[in-house]
Amino acid sequence: MPAALLSVFDKTNLISFATELAKLNWTLLASGGTAKALRDANLPVTEVADYTGSPEILGGRVKTLHPAIHGGILARATEDDDTDLARIHAQRIDLVAVNLYPFQQTIAKPNVTLADAIENIDIGGVALIRAAAKNMERVTLVCDPMDYDAVLAEIKSNGQTSAETRRRLAVKGFAHTAEYDSAIRNYLAGSDALTITAYPVQTLRYGENPHQKATLYSYVQGAGPLGGEILQGKELSYNNLLDLDAAWRAVLSFSAPTICIVKHLSPCGIASVPTLQAAFELALASDPVSAFGGVIASNREFDAETANSLGDLFVECIAAPGFTSDAREKLVKRKNCRLVSMPNLAIDPPTEMRSVTRGLLRQDIDQGDPANTEWQVVSQRAPTSTEMESLRFAMAACTHVKSNAIVFASGTATVGIGGGQPNRVDSARIAATRAGEKSKGAVMASDAFFPFPDSVEVAAQAGITAIVAPGGSVRDADAIAVANANNMAMVFTGVRHFRH
């Protein structure tokens, strides 16, 4: 019977993976905590210590570092190697599922001690990955739970994984240990040297313009665009990818069904309401002119009702965590509309990088106000509960608009967006123009303080009733005075949300 060695810290989908292997009559070997998890699930498993005859030592620091384990992984399909294994009462190991202690997550914690960091340096796991990857001619390495399903599908279909799959997973394993070792080196050296491994996904037709060459890369080998899967339509362009990324990040800021429409990297409509169809209709109404030829992102499965609401709007791409079969039937008629099914509702990695001359900039992704943010009413009139709900939506939407960003919102939908201007008052004027009569009774969010009261004056003239902004200007008092003079509520958050 084929044998699998399971030794994982991250036990995501472990039980379902091991269950399927057991159904296929695989022998399961597992180290301490992994073996316990399998026993608790009533799966037949042999613990590594029992298999090797050597108990774990040094408080678990040494578990799998044993000739019977590494011999079984590194053994080639030769008579001589089989003889050596028989001499030590070992067998071939055909699959190794292993992932490592969370060193990077540990050192990211505040006030982590050197001792804690050291204890989260994996030794045996790295050795297992390298051994399995080295012997990719025979052994399947799975160091990422996201690969479990694909590996199982091949085993069920062919009895084993293909040579191509084993090679791909081996490369992934070596890349993983390289990144892991780099993080340890940087931490212990007290430096933050950046090592990037990225895999080509596709050569794009061109970049932002036809005379520019471009290639899409992924941090994960074999992943699709943005980690998703293109369900229909031609390949995504450089500009499509930028717009979809912006729209996808925006919808993940909201828990209710949300639609974001982006054109030329600028949101032109965002709405977050109880139904996806209503969210699309409100987002489109925010700026129907700019929406033509844009991209759409949804944080819910895209349904037929929403597909119907597209009408004759030309849409370049739609990204969503899935599409219903009825929606697919309707959208397949739009041959020039790409559909991208996203793997989950997550932004990964949680940092972003931009190139500058001879270097890179890296920062944490702005995921909205920190949890401890306290909004303070600074005007004579406090916002009503309805206004406050709308202000919170508007500020979350504002986070995704290019600075200087101004968002007008009614309820939980944008009605006017202005951004990307070198001064704030022009952004306010643009938002007011796009909102038109819909600005009356709406609220306004600003991504940064008001250097002058002119933006507040534009808001008052447009009929805005409440404003949220970070505050912090030397002329805050002037802005507050205009708000009070027009019976507007004003709230300061103390948190800026520039997006250049």
| Residues forming the active site | 134, 264
Residue with tokens 């819910």, as numbered in its chain? 300
328 close to 318: Cβ distance less than 8 angstroms? no
Q: Which two tokens stand for residue 409?
A: 């919102």
Residue with tokens 């994982």, as numbered in its chain? 8
CA atoms within 13 A on the CB side of 177: 22
Q: How far is CA 434 from the centre of its chain?
A: 31
**Which residue blocks in 311-367 are alpha helix, DSSP H?**
325-331
Distance CA 20, CA 300 (A): 30
Distance CA 468, CA 493 (A): 7
Distance CA 46, CA 310 (A): 56
434 close to 417: Cβ distance less than 8 angstroms? yes
Strands (E), 406-477: 406-410, 413-418, 443-446, 466-469
391 close to 412: Cβ distance less than 8 angstroms? no
Decide: residue 411, CB within 10 A, 0-12 exposed, 13-18 middle, 19+ buried: middle
Angle between helices 148-158 and 14-23 (to 10 degrees): 10
Coil, strand or helix at 72: helix
Residue 240 backbone phi and psi in degrees, to 5: -55, -45
C-alpha pair distances (Å), 258 with each of 230, 253, 319: 21, 9, 12
Angle between helices 454-462 and 424-435 (to 10 degrees): 10
